[in-house]
Structure 1
Amino acid sequence: MMHAFEYHTTWIVMLAVAVSSQKQPGLSQSSQPNSGLRANCLGNVMRLSLDKSLAVGNLLEVDAINGTDVIPLTPRLAAQCGYSMESDPWGNTKIYSSLFGCYAGSKEAGTFSLGLNLRMSGDLKLDEATYVVTKTCNYRSLATRHILCERNYIEVSTQLFKPQIAKNILGHDDDFTDDAGQDSVKYYVHYYYYYYYVYLFLHLCAVVLTFLPMPQASASPNDIWKLMFFTPEPKVMLLNEAKKAGYGVKSTEHRLVLRSPFNSAETYIENVAGVPMEVFSVSTYYVPIYGLNIVDSDAACPTGGLIFTDKTITWHVPRRITPVIKGAVKILKMYMGIDGQRLDKYQMAARKYTLSSTEFHIVIELPIGTPDGYYKSLAPDDQYHITFTVEPMLELVWREESTQTDTKYKVLFPITTPLMSWPTQFTGNAVPEERLFEILLGTFLPDVELINITFNTGVFSVAECNVKGFDVKEHRFPNGSKSFYLKVPFFEDAVLVHNPVPLLTTYILPMTFGLLILPEETPFSHVAKAEVSLQDVVPPAITGTCDPGYFYVTVGYGSQGHNFRTMIGERELTSKLGETYGLMSNSTHFSFVVPYSSADSIFEMVMSTSVRARIDLELVASNNWKLNDFSLSCSFPLTTTECYSNGTMTALAMKVESVPNMILSHLTLRDDSCKPNSSNNRFAYFSFGVNSCGTTRTMLGNIMVYENDISLDLKSYTSKYPDVAYYKQTVSCYYLVNVTETMAFRTRPRVKDPSADIGMGYLIVQMRLAQDESYKLFYQVEDYPVAKYLRQPLYIEVELMQSMDIKIELVLENCWATQHKDRSSLPRWNLIVDSCANLDDPYSTVFHPVEFDSRVNIPAHVKRFSVNMFTFVTDEVVLKENIFVHCNAVLCDSNNPSYGVCSSQCVNPAKTGAKKSWTADLKGSRNINYQVQGEQLSSGPILLSEPE
């Protein structure tokens, strides 16, 4: 059984709901029947119901009105004077007052008046509302004894039978009916003799007591001398001592009312028919004036007798309460109710309540979840549970056959079930098409609030979650329960992502919900995890193309971004290697350019006019899964054998894939004494006469064929590399014979060495604009027009393509800028004149040295220079249009530096000053001067950009 005042030091209820209200002093309940205050007379108690809508804050203080006095009710005083109170978690409060209480007034028999003063306020009492409630109840009952079991006290009211009372009874034959419509109980005249003889016996006892010593202290106005409590051993207290101990004593001309708080020192527990009962037994001694000087008062209230199942509460009360009943009895009436209110059989049937009796018990059954009760949330050990509370009432009227006296027995018995497990349901559904989790947590009772959610990225309140876009909502169901709903996108940092297999993504969202139970503000948490695996991985994609000198590779990131390593052959594409290959990236892909002669390319096949090369790429995840691999193979134009009219042959040999351990310096011609003129780990260069190194000659009609073979010197080579494959490369030259040419000549003394005539031809040359002076990254076609600020350097590179001739030197003859793509358009500004910087330019052209690296195999084939960004001015008007850079280039033979720009860096050194270091090895001109086509040596548009 639950006792409302057991744990309080002041009689204050903490209301769960705070609603503003005007202060209304002196408000009578009868003046506002719909105000949220309802007073009902329920037999020997008055119930006051206070609706939560009247609450001002979360505090309720109750005073008893006693005439003009207002007495604050403490828990001790409430139990002593017949008051109890119960409040549900939402602030609905019920106050019960006994009609036989200390402050219940009575002007006439059977009429009782009660008054209560209610004070509601917040914690700081900044606003307060006061309600005064008065109620008059009529309760007529001639039952000899009334026993009331309340949630916090036991009350027994005993009728006093003095001689004059008996005489009054003899003179009346009226019927008395209580407020519940009980049948009248008639006292007939023949009972007079019974009372008369009892009176004579008691009077004799009183005469004896008059000779005993009397207490010095005066008795109460009702002449009570002392009280003997049975625990069950007797214990005597004077009246004042009993009141100080917390017992209520009230004696009128017709009744003696005694009241004991539950669990008092002078009560005891007795097991009756298997039900624990708290027994209150007192004998009251009066000052012997009337002759009636001892009144025995016995009461017993159940404290147990409950059986719980998942769906039902069964309450057993002993049919024969032996501490109270001394002889045979007959039960006259039996009622059940809720919250002190009787229910008829139709109301009980609608609620599925049953009231029955067995040989030993009276049994009440109630379904768990009935609307007359309420559920409450609890969280012991951080685990969510619920209880159900309901307050049934049992009323009995029995008659003792020996004395023909009636007892009215009423029990208000609040029942709270043991903790019931309520598993919290968590649903973490994935919505793949929206790329998010839909989270549902619940259900909970209405007294649970969601305070925050803890993710792996931190703790966020509900408001902060909504700011992040998680859309946290509370959903209420018709039965009052609630659940919490939110959405979390996959891309949030709170969602953990990993790939258990290459094309499968697992999304994991761990979280902890912080919840609070009101009004106690009890915190608890729920740990949950949403997880889903989807085959939604788009692997990174690789595409590539070739031009006559380079591999162009683009790698798309796929659906998981750039979280992989890129392997080019055996090497990883690091940032340093990326600088060499002009690595460029954005949010969706990256690209780079690999020269076919790079160390990361593989030569598959060598022919007389071309070479077939390949690059292999592999994309590897952090866990070493292969995400993609790609091979790009292209043929690149390359003259590997050249035949000269003076009977000289040149040949270029390369390290091919089929002979992985080949060392090029170990190559020889048929005559193994003929080694390469030069070699590195990729190329070997031979130059020899057609009549040397074992070259053979064969006639095919009018064609003379000279052939030789390049092979490994296996005699010394196989001892070190026994598994090396056989390698042989045949080089051939074809000469036309049987053609007679007639010519006349005469001799004269040689003055100087003869030189060849200059001829004209075409050669593929590439001009590119670098992003900085490192010449590692270059602008691509799609980047034009390139925007530059005024005087910002432009880094330009010109490269000879498709030639591996180390004797050729590329020289820039003239370079200039125009406003249009047409090389001959005007206006025009010279940048390089006769291979020298333009002296008329205040910001002269700067030449940059070229060194051997993984991209540049022959530095002499590459020239670099920079100029500051400028714009054309016409009539002092700045022409803010594009500019284009154009160049003419010549090839020079380093063995014969006799022609024009090949003889030195500048045609007129006196005008240009000292030679630049990068031209120190320009030694002469070859017999053919190759003029480069204009469009191949023109840059894309360069746009002047205004500073912000």
Structure 2
Amino acid sequence: MLSILFLCVLSMCARNKVPAGMFRTECQDQHFWLAISSAFLGQMFRFETEGRSGVYPVSDKRAAQCGYTMLLDSRGDLVLRASYLACDVDTEDHAGVQLMVWFVNKETSGKETSHPFLLTCPLQQWNPREIVCEENYMEVSVKKPIPPVGQKGQEWMTPPPKRSEQGGVKEWRMVFRVLPDAQKDVTSLPMKEQTLSLMEAEQLGYHINSTGTRIVLRCGYSSPLSYLLQEKGVDLETVSVTIFYRHQWTLLRVDASVACSLHKGTMDGTHILWSIPQVFPPLVQGSIRDRGARMGVGGSLLSDCVIQQRGYKMEVRAGVMEVRIPFGADGGYVKSHVMDGQYAQSYSIDLYYVQQWEDAQWTLTRHCSFRPLWTSPRPRTLGLFNLTVPEEREFSLTLGVFPPDVSLANITILTHTVTPAVTEELGLRVFQVPFTNGTHSYLLQVPFSHPLVFQKYLGKMYRRYMLEVNFTLLVSPHGQVFTHPASVACDLQDVVLPKVEGHCTDKAVRLTLHRGNMDTQWAILFGNHRLEQQLVELGRYSLEVEDGYFVVEVPLYSLGMAYEDLSLQGLLTNVAVSMLDVETGTVEQTFVQHCTFQVRELMVCLPNNWMVVVVDTARVVPPLDPWDTTLLDPMCGPKETDHTRALFSFSLDSCGTIKSVEDDGLVYVNEIRYMPQYLPIPQYFFHPFYYYSQPVGCRYPLNGTRTLAIYQSHLLPRSRTHRSHKGQHPIVRVPCEVSCGGDGGFTRRIEGREVNAVAMRCLWMKPFSDIN
């Protein structure tokens, strides 16, 4: 029966008003229970009890002898537990039991404040024998046997003593069964008896009291006349004593022996294991009948339903009752620690265990054990739960469950560290999620679009969002710090790749690039050149940046342009725009824009010793038929003509090509010439002989890779007149303009041949103009 009977003497309360919520009182199983909140405790504090003989401080010695237990629970609250048979308890017939308690609080200033409590609880029915194994004392109370009226017995003393105020208690005798000297454990040695008076027993720490119906013996652990006994592998501390007393001059005796389990509990996997024998040999006479066992927490028994819900277990193994309590189960207290930078927890629980039996002497014995069980700190793996719903496009994860002594100090994402108070200002959300048992966890929510979320392209339009966060937490009250890293990821098929659109102008390729939604993932390649400021400058690109897209104009003959074919219809080129995944180095997709540019004159030197040349004869006066032009070998004519232009395609090892070595290069020279079939009659000082000559040439390195080069000539205006010099046509070497070329990364086709578009050195040959 739990009832809060928080009574206060009005005259006392008038002096010291009790703050609300600082105190709690309960009536537990045969015990008063008073708790003082840790928030109310001063620098020093104490309890005092008031009885008929005065007010006494509750010291450790008096607590053990008088039936009081003081402790600080895992939350830091101060608890006083007092037996209904404790000193200063006033028992009123049919009214219950009362105890006057003073809580004295000493402030840091040195001022003491007293708070009085009159604890009143209903008196429950006592069993014939009640044994209590408290944290700091052992207690046994038995029903006082009274012989039938008229029964005669042995006289207590001759002559009889005078009646004392306590009904002759001071004249009682106690016979202890003890071990021989220097022996503390029971072995095969016989025990001896030692008879003491009440005063002698009290001097040794044994408190004996008598009420109208009961006899009480109480003593602390490790008392002088106790001994150890091992039963079924469990250590018991035992006091074996028989009390002799008189009733109307009749000698009576009562067995007041007490035995308590000293088992402190051990860790068995993930459970705390506490053991107690089913039978206590020093307390049993004759056959025994088990009347069951129950368990509780903090002095209150629990129902079977609650026990099952909390995961507690009670099992009998080889005559021993084993109580198993899961680490961290409700009813106990979890305390946090930091060990070597790692989070750890210890667990404690105030176990209350009651077992009952019948034997030949007692119709019912009730044996109660109060046992605080605790574990040493153990490293704990923190639970990280990913609650992310991809459709919501937001990371949602929880860390913990933590006891109240843990708080979140800050979180670190990449290199950014923020406290919970300012996370929302940065687009993050951190919540403390409380639970009904007083624990809590932390919930972190981060949108996928947040700059601190890392994104990676997986292919096939899938993107991986990744969040790496480090939680920093504090353990109260000493401010110990520990961290916990967390990494979560989510894959979504939501990638919009960059899109390229292109068209051709007269002298350039114009490309519009739509950015897509993963700018940082892609590098844009023009040919095999990465689009950067250096490429824009070297290639003379025109760049226009707009919101969501940008426009690039690639001029003819610039870096990044490739060449497929050359004919009189034009120079067939392309610009390939590729999306390079910067993470993997692979090309995701490529867009190619083809364009054909009209050219009047052009020369191409192929790496396989092949040359393609377009020459324009329209500027020759009078006009000539390009079909009649040839190379040095008259059998090598044009492949194609259009009345004003001629296209020659030939091997440098043919058509009369002249090869020579100059410096570090190999030079090939040929000539496009026109010789009419019939020459006009020359006129002195007016008509020279009719003649057209256009030297062409290629230069290759002696050592190294031969690559394609395209040259756009800038010749002086041609004349059909040329002055012969000793029958030779004088030529001069003129630097050529290298207008385009690549770096070896792209394969092109010209005249059906694959070439590597890399710039090379070149040699242009052309005639002198007529000085006249």
- TM-score normalised over the length of structure 2: 0.61
Give how far 1:154 is off: 1.6
Q: 1:440 aligns with which of 398, 401, 404?
A: 398
Q: 1:486 aligns with which of 432, 440, 444?
A: 444
- Counterpart secondary structure, 2:384: strand
- Counterpart secondary structure, 1:463: coil
Match of 1:27 in 2: 13
How many angstroms apart in 1 are the aligned matches of 2:549 and 2:78? 69
The letter for the 1-side match of 2:604 is: K
Contact 1:25 1:130 (8 Å CA) reproduced: no
Give how far 1:495 is off: 3.0
Give how far 1:151 is off: 2.0
Contact 1:695 1:707 (8 Å CA) reproduced: no
How many angstroms apart in 2 are the aligned matches of 1:152 and 1:145? 20
- Counterpart secondary structure, 2:552: strand
Match of 1:629 in 2: 590
Indicate whether 1:561 and 2:554 are aligned. Answer: no
Indicate whether 1:509 and 2:493 are aligned. Answer: no
Contact 1:301 1:411 (8 Å CA) reproduced: no
Contact 1:320 1:360 (8 Å CA) reproduced: no
Q: 2:494 aligns with which of 513, 536, 544?
A: 536
Deviations 1:141-162 (A, max 9, x none): 999986432122223568xxxx
* Pairs within 5 Å for 1:245-394: 247=205, 249=207, 259-262=218-221, 267-280=226-239, 298-304=257-263, 318=277, 320-325=279-284, 327-328=285-286, 338=296, 348=303, 373-374=331-332, 376=334, 382=342, 389=349, 391-394=351-354
Contact 1:336 1:355 (8 Å CA) reproduced: no
After superposition, the CA RMSD in angstroms is 6.6
Match of 2:730 in 1: none
How many angstroms apart in 2 are the aligned matches of 1:366 and 1:128? 44
Give how far 1:625 is off: 0.7
Match of 1:680 in 2: none
Percentage of matched positions with identical amino acids: 21
* Pairs within 5 Å for 1:115-130: 115-119=100-104, 130=114
How many angstroms apart in 2 are the aligned matches of 1:609 and 1:370? 86
Contact 1:41 1:47 (8 Å CA) reproduced: yes
Deviations 1:572-598 (A, max 9, x none): 444223123234446644433222133
Deviations 1:108-145 (A, max 9, x none): 999975322225689x6899975311246797999998
Q: 2:47 aligns with which of 58, 63, 73?
A: 63
Indicate whether 1:653 and 2:602 are aligned. Answer: yes
Indicate whether 1:154 and 2:138 are aligned. Answer: yes
Change in 2 beyond 3 A, CA 1:390/1:495: same
- Counterpart secondary structure, 2:13: coil
Q: Which runs of 5+ in 2 are unaligned?
A: 1-9, 162-168, 184-193, 635-641, 677-684, 687-711, 718-735, 742-768
Match of 2:369 in 1: 412
Contact 2:50 2:88 (8 Å CA) reproduced: yes
Deviations 1:667-718 (A, max 9, x none): 799xxxxxx99xxxxxxx9999849996489xxxxxx979866454434869
- Counterpart secondary structure, 2:152: helix
Contact 1:84 1:96 (8 Å CA) reproduced: yes
How many angstroms apart in 1 are the aligned matches of 2:455 and 2:270? 45
How many angstroms apart in 1 are the aligned matches of 2:624 and 2:60? 127
Deviations 1:888-920 (A, max 9, x none): xxxxxxx99xxxxxxxxxxxxxxxxxxxxxxxx
Contact 1:440 1:484 (8 Å CA) reproduced: yes
Give how far 1:241 is off: 11
Q: Which runs of 5+ in 1 are unaligned?
A: 1-23, 159-177, 179-183, 204-220, 641-651, 670-675, 678-684, 698-703, 735-748, 751-802, 809-851, 858-894, 897-948
Match of 2:729 in 1: none
How many angstroms apart in 2 are the aligned matches of 1:225 and 1:149? 24
Indicate whether 1:618 and 2:578 are aligned. Answer: yes
Rg larger in 1 or in 2? 1
Q: 1:545 aligns with which of 494, 503, 508?
A: 503
The letter for the 2-side match of 1:549 is: K
Contact 1:556 1:590 (8 Å CA) reproduced: yes
Deviations 1:511-539 (A, max 9, x none): 34445667787766554321222333322
Match of 2:707 in 1: none
Deviations 1:191-221 (A, max 9, x none): 531x42x657999xxxxxxxxxxxxxxxxx9
The letter for the 1-side match of 2:282 is: P
Contact 1:282 1:296 (8 Å CA) reproduced: yes
Contact 1:352 1:366 (8 Å CA) reproduced: no
Change in 2 beyond 3 A, CA 1:248/1:117: farther
* The structure with more strand, counted as a fraction of residues: 2
- Counterpart secondary structure, 1:548: coil
Give how far 1:547 is off: 1.7
Q: 1:455 aligns with which of 394, 413, 422?
A: 413
- TM-score normalised over the length of structure 1: 0.51
The letter for the 2-side match of 1:115 is: M
Indicate whether 1:498 and 2:456 are aligned. Answer: yes
Give how far 1:429 is off: 4.4
The letter for the 2-side match of 1:621 is: D
- Counterpart secondary structure, 1:558: coil
Contact 2:300 2:352 (8 Å CA) reproduced: no
Change in 2 beyond 3 A, CA 1:154/1:497: same
- Counterpart secondary structure, 2:557: coil
Contact 2:629 2:672 (8 Å CA) reproduced: no
- Counterpart secondary structure, 2:12: coil
Contact 1:232 1:268 (8 Å CA) reproduced: no
* Pairs within 5 Å for 1:596-615: 596-598=556-558, 600-606=560-566, 608=568, 610-615=570-575
The letter for the 2-side match of 1:620 is: L
How many angstroms apart in 1 are the aligned matches of 2:544 and 2:34? 78
Deviations 1:307-365 (A, max 9, x none): 9999999987546533345x44777988857568787xxx8566579999999969698
How many angstroms apart in 1 are the aligned matches of 2:79 and 2:242? 33
How many angstroms apart in 1 are the aligned matches of 2:518 and 2:45? 64
- Counterpart secondary structure, 1:148: strand
Q: 1:97 aligns with which of 61, 67, 82?
A: 82
- Counterpart secondary structure, 2:519: coil
Indicate whether 1:78 and 2:63 are aligned. Answer: yes
- Counterpart secondary structure, 2:534: helix
Give how far 1:496 is off: 3.2
Give how far 1:478 is off: 5.7
Contact 1:471 1:487 (8 Å CA) reproduced: yes
Give how far 1:599 is off: 5.3
How many angstroms apart in 1 are the aligned matches of 2:507 and 2:458? 41
- Counterpart secondary structure, 2:536: helix
Contact 1:392 1:412 (8 Å CA) reproduced: yes
Deviations 1:477-507 (A, max 9, x none): 5666644322112344543333354743322
Give how far 1:634 is off: 2.0
How many angstroms apart in 2 are the aligned matches of 1:366 and 1:303? 16
